[in-house]
Amino acid sequence: MGKSTIGNSDFNREMKGLVIPSVLQMLVANSFSLVNMLMVTNLGDGAVAVTAAAGRISFILSMILTAVYGMTSYITQYHGKHQLTLVRATFGFMLLTGIGISLLSFVVVSIWKEPILSLFIKDVELLPLGIQYVSIMVFVFLISAVRDAYAQALGSLGKVKITLYVGLCAMMINIILDYGLIYGRLGLPNLGVVGAAWGTLIATGTSLLFLIVFIYIKSYYLNIRIQELFSLPMILRKQVVKTITPLVFHEGMWSIGNMLYAVAFGSLSIAALTTFQLANTLQGYFMMGIHGFAYAAKVMIGQKLGQDNQEQAMDYARRYTRISVIAGIIVSVVMMMGSPFVAFIFPNLSTEVHASLGNILLLQGMVMTALFLNNVWIVGMFRAGGDNLFTMIMILMTTWGIALPAVFVGTYVFRLPMEWVYALFLCEEMSKAFIGYRRYRSQKWMRNLVGNHSETPTSA
């Protein structure tokens, strides 16, 4: 495996300082969707299907913005070289790009929300409710783009505590508003499932306000001025865009693939779509730990690559790979043991959903180690080195070349049961792990993105 060049205590100290706040932040972020889901389940399978359909639209936008936030690889490496002016200039460019994409998404979804929703919701009685829900959620797109740009950039600098505190406040607001607006409690109107959308909108807006106020009052790292939005030199903008363009296609194609998975499950039945959404929400909770390790790997490895210390970067990569395997095995066992008891979490759903969901969690548990490794390799290591062209090709092969055709054939040709279709869906992660392992071992992903960049940004 190679000789370590840093003591275990130093590595563990730095890793824990990044992982623990990041995991807590993920817990808070996932709680938004889980709180909505838990409260909406009391309204029945149809209400859950509406939020699932809207969630697929939000998911596509969030994945495309995640690709834009791939610019944080440069922010991390610039920070490792102490080029703080370029850190701020790169963030300004990232923020401007994210706002532009979210505005475009706002217009597209606002105009074509009915045909988009009809891809997922086949019940004509539920479609008007879905339109109401999405009409509110499009404003969440705009707010989240700005908030998440700041949060991602701060995270790439290793500064996640403030976003954690802001997220905790937003989560409490969301819980209170969901309870009041969904059920008509606390003197608030009874809006049903639409109340969940209003709760999310208000909580998201509040979190952005808190974050911006803190950053600018405290002059905290990213308190950029208007002119800094345009201060990254044109030559560096071109390099950044060249690096993240494959990542945009990666996340775009992957998220569209996931939307099509939802279309396939929705064609089976409302219960199947509900199960698919609940399984994804619960999986997000089981994945929180490894998201934290992937984040820490990206920061620690990215800084070493920016310093041209490839030996240390590879040592970190080996350590995080071992951690992923151990954590994946532990979580797999927990998921498989807990799968028979999942019905107690959602007592108001149909028996069909209860039965399917337990089986789906059992299947997820079987591949959880592969999911953990894929997350750490792709998000934590390959993106740290800007290896986005390779990951784009890998997504085209695994999602569009293997799993998606298998799911559609299983659904529309053979009309397989939901559990069998989900097993075909999981072929994506297994094939991705095989390809990702070969790339990890090759070390071709280890690149210094900022080696010759001078700290003299000027507007162009």
Q: DSSP for 271-308?
A: HHHHHHHHHHHHHHHHTHHHHHHHHHHHHHHHHHHHTT
Q: How much is the pLDDT for 459?
A: 44
Average pLDDT, stretch 84-88? 87
State the DSSP code for 397: I
Averaged pLDDT, 432-449:
93
Q: How far is CA 125 from the centre of its chain?
A: 31
Higher pLDDT, 349 or 359: 359
Look at residue 51 and tell me whether its pLDDT is greater than 50.
yes
Sign of dihedral through CA atoms 238, 160, 302, 69? negative
Is pLDDT at 123 greater than 80 in this prediction?
Answer: no
**Lowest mean pLDDT across 231-235, 287-291, 454-458:** 454-458
* Phi/psi of residue 458, nearest 5 degrees: -135, 150
For residues 374 and 432, is the Cβ–Cβ distance under 8 A?
Answer: yes
Q: What is the pLDDT of residue 3?
A: 44
Q: What is the pLDDT of residues 361-373, one digit of tens each?
A: 999 999 999 999 9
Counting residues of the chain whose pLDDT is more than 90, the rounded percentage is 30
Number of helices (H), then strands (E), in the chain: 17, 0
CB atoms within 10 A of CB 399: 24
Q: pLDDT tier at 48 (50, 70, 90 boundaries)?
A: confident
pLDDT recorded at residue 439: 96
- pLDDT attached to residue 6: 53
Mean per-residue pLDDT of the chain: 85
Neighbour tally for 1: CB within 10 Å: 9
The whole-number pLDDT of residue 454 equals: 54
Residues 123 and 17: their CA atoms lie apart, in Å, by: 48
Rounded to whole angstroms, the Cα distance separating 137 from 196 reads 10
> In this structure, what token pair is assigned to residue 152?
């991602």
Position 333 scores a pLDDT of 92
Say if residues 218 and 212 touch (Cβ distance below 8 Å): no
The larger pLDDT score, comparing residue 204 to residue 274, is at: 204
At residue 460, the pLDDT reads: 42
Q: Residue 212: pLDDT above 70?
A: yes
- Give 69's DSSP letter: G
422: tokens are 């989900």
| CA dist., res. 16 & res. 379, Å (int) | 18
Neighbouring C-beta atoms of residue 455, cutoff 10 Å: 13
pLDDT given for residue 455 in this prediction? 56
Average pLDDT over residues 215-234: 86
Q: Is the pLDDT of residue 194 over 60?
A: yes
Q: Closest by alpha carbon to 400, among 265, 252, 267?
A: 252
Q: How far is CA 97 from CA 70, 101, 163, in A?
A: 12, 6, 21
List all residues 6 or more positions away from 147 whose beta carbon is below 8 Å from its beta carbon: 204, 207, 208, 211
Kindly compute the dihedral angle of the four CA atoms of residues 188, 190, 196, 200, in this order, to the nearest 10 degrees: -20
Sequence-distant (≥ 6) Cβ neighbours of residue 145 within 8 angstroms: 65, 98, 99, 101, 102
pLDDT tens per residue, range 311-348: 999 999 999 999 999 999 999 999 899 888 876 777 77
pLDDT band at residue 198 using 50, 70 and 90 as cut-offs: very high
Dihedral angle sign, alpha carbons of residues 448, 100, 173, 223: positive
**DSSP state, residue 125:** T
pLDDT of residue 4: 46
Q: Phi, psi (5° rounding) for residue 199? A: -60, -45
Q: Are 297 and 376 in contact (CB under 8 A)?
A: yes
Give dist(CA 275, CA 355) in Å, integer.
9
**Spatial distance between the Cα atoms of 148 and 445, rounded to a whole number of angstroms:** 26
Split at pLDDT 50, 70, 90, the class of 306 is confident
| Both tokens assigned to 142 | 């705009």
pLDDT at 22: 77
pLDDT of residue 430 exceeding 80: yes
Closest among 6, 71, 289, 26 to 167, alpha carbons compared: 26
Q: Which two tokens stand for residue 277?
A: 């959404």
The answer to whether residue 456 scores a pLDDT higher than 60 is no
Q: Is residue 196 pLDDT above 90, yes or no?
A: no
How many other CB atoms are found less than 10 A from the CB of residue 371?
Answer: 23
End-to-end C-alpha distance for the chain, whole angstroms = 46
How does residue 33 score in pLDDT terms, banded at 50, 70 and 90? low
